[in-house]
Structure 1
């Protein structure tokens, strides 16, 4: 049993089973034993590899998309260039390099990173130098905001509900007869969602408020946001998962020592952006979006210049069997402004898959 497993077990013995959201938040963010508080989880030496860690191609294209949106909106200055959950700072470093193609943009950018982990904040300072660190998206200043969120929402705590008989029961984490962690169900509740026995639905209570805060700043002050993550649209199913040393494992096996995530439901994110007064895009596949931005031509130029990994990275980022279809992207921008490159506006009440 890990140190954090013992802490969680003691809590359950004292107060009863906990929600999956409580379990995720404790495992990821506990100040002494939480996953993000104790390690660098990225890259080959960590537990998973994100798109920015695969190759500079991803971050450069993200930066160029935001640069075009900045130019389309009249080059507002100063503005906030923000990233929630910025990992080691690799994506932001690549974007800062790419936006230099837009005259004056890099000089007008005031970088803000939303990061809860003190350990990762140190890594980000090593990569980027002096940057502003914020605890929450709500702390972003009230000025034009250009934001990139890659694999941020998948780590936000979720709640799960399972259909049992005629009702839904929340999935909880409790203890088995030997004191180990196990899943169980709370008493049935009235949840207005259709379903068959055994169906599972997931809700992420923190996601919509985060998007609302972002979209309100963009609607009021200008800017753009791009959100990339793996997931779908109004999806059902148990997508809660743990990754340790690049391999999946039981999410209850090593609390605090494995990454915990769930697929992102983009539908409530888009609805939150609309309700906040911003325009929002249809979801697009990551591969289609990157290719629409010229990923293939850029990879070919890098390969011709001696970058031996460029074409392999292009395949991994865009191929349907790799990250190309599993990962989706949406964008947010002010109503009346041009769409962010590679995106089309989502009409209200649209039912996108």
Structure 2
């Protein structure tokens, strides 16, 4: 999954009508504007310190451009740091956020100021591992290649002790997913904000686990596809386990808010008032963000324990 997505994102702009999928910032300017208002409010109540703005996987840079425009009105004009490896997307991000500093990973982000980090639809694209139950035992699910066909297969048995107790006796064929890569990123971010100050806002589709279920999926030309076909030519994602990310953040010393549904979060931030100001033309966009995506997409925030509690999580 990691190798396939690395090739996929490095070789194309996957967004928009001509691409494979559309994200919330591309649906409406309201999304990025409200994220910017959220960040500006938190920064103001934290005492208006010097900070850095960070995005993980910024897409075309649409969210950042909309957010920075709103933040500037509140007096917040931070240096911009983007974690992005795709040359194609870096060019698009530079057009919308000139002067941004690029990073291949979060490890090289600034270490001397608080960070305001946004990760919108970032964690879902990180590689996962799957465990599948066969008979009375659990096995890691692997990928085999037969001629040119990729297939999921059961690998070696794993110790029962690594299976969450409430899932250990799930029916044969059940699948449990984990994301060591996602856990590592969240642990690193939590350590950063705990040491430096600041906050992280993670927005993605997901659930509160651990739970049983196979959520690995591929999207191509705005339709679902077989994830084992055409590796590197379609977007591979999996639902994010927000409960595990929250647990990791707390273990690293960060304060946690959420997760809450995206619909409730945007409503609390004032999307209805913003939609009314923009007029009837944005009503379908508001419905997509709040109603269609409102429950499946969730929002989690972590922050330094001394920073104020962010809005949107009541």
Output the TM-score relative to the length of structure 1.
0.84
In structure 2, what is the equivalent of residue 341 of structure 1? 311
Give 1:221 shift.
2.1
SS at structure 2 position matched to 1:297: helix
Is 1:185 aligned to residue 158 of structure 2?
no
Return the alpha-carbon distance in structure 1 between the equivalents of residues 95 and 189 of structure 2.
27
Aligned length: 306
Return the alpha-carbon distance in structure 2 between the equivalents of residues 253 and 180 of structure 1.
7
Is 1:232 aligned to residue 207 of structure 2?
yes
**1:80-229 equivalences in 2 (<5 Å):** 80-103=52-75, 105-106=76-77, 109-142=78-111, 143-176=113-146, 178-192=147-161, 193=163, 194=168, 195-229=170-204
- Change in CA separation of 1:120 and 1:163 when aligned onto 2, cut-off 3 Å: same
In structure 1, what is the equivalent of residue 290 of structure 2? 318
Show structure 2 runs of 5+ residues with no match.
Answer: none
In structure 1, what is the equivalent of residue 232 of structure 2? 256
Return the alpha-carbon distance in structure 1 between the equivalents of residues 5 and 278 of structure 2.
37
**1:65-84 equivalences in 2 (<5 Å):** 65-77=38-50, 79-84=51-56
1:116-173 CA-to-partner distances (Å, cap 9, x unmatched) read: 1122112211222121001111111111100111000000000111011121111111
Give 1:223 shift.
1.1
Return the alpha-carbon distance in structure 2 between the equivalents of residues 272 and 45 of structure 1.
37
Return the alpha-carbon distance in structure 2 between the equivalents of residues 140 and 175 of structure 1.
38
Asked if the contact 2:118/2:202 (under 8 Å) is kept, the reply is: yes
In structure 1, what is the equivalent of residue 298 of structure 2? 328
**1:300-311 equivalences in 2 (<5 Å):** 300-303=276-279, 309-311=281-283
| 164-173 or 256-265: bigger deviation | 164-173
Return the alpha-carbon distance in structure 2 between the equivalents of residues 37 and 337 of structure 1.
36
Give 1:334 shift.
1.6
Return the alpha-carbon distance in structure 1 between the equivalents of residues 101 and 148 of structure 2.
43
In structure 2, what is the equivalent of residue 62 of structure 1? 35
Greater Rg by CA: 1
Output the TM-score relative to the length of structure 2.
0.94
Give 1:196 shift.
2.4
Give 1:309 shift.
3.3
SS at structure 1 position matched to 2:25: helix
Return the alpha-carbon distance in structure 1 between the equivalents of residues 151 and 3 of structure 2.
16
Return the alpha-carbon distance in structure 2 between the equivalents of residues 337 and 343 of structure 1.
15
1:54-81 CA-to-partner distances (Å, cap 9, x unmatched) read: 000000001111111101110001x110
